[in-house]
């Protein structure tokens, strides 16, 4: 009985940690992509302004 409970707890904790890692990974990707998009837009706007001057 204790072995089954321990196995269940271990599987549950590993599942939770994998879910947490997945969520953190998605958040990091989202932040990274949004920053890249912002940098790309800013550089494009700055380039257009310098080009139009």
How confident is the model over 1-52, as pLDDT tens digits?
688 888 888 888 888 888 888 888 888 888 888 887 778 788 888 888 888 8
Q: How many structural domains comprise the chain?
A: 1
Q: Whole-model pTM?
A: 0.46
Would you say the C-alpha torsion 23, 24, 25, 30 has a positive or negative sign? positive
CA distance 6 to 4: 5
Supply the range of the domain harboring residue 13: 1-53
Nearest 10 degrees: CA dihedral of 29, 33, 36, 40?
Answer: 170
Give the pair of three-digit tokens for residue 11.
């599987």
Residue of 10, 44, 33 whose CA lies nearest to 2: 10
In 1-53, alpha helices (H): 2-52
């Amino acid at each position: 009985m204790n072995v089954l409970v321990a196995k269940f707890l271990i599987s549950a904790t590993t599942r939770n940690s994998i879910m947490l890692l997945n969520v953190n990974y998605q958040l990091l990707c989202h932040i990274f992509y949004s920053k890249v998009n912002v940098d790309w837009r800013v550089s494009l706007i700055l380039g257009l302004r310098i080009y139009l001057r």
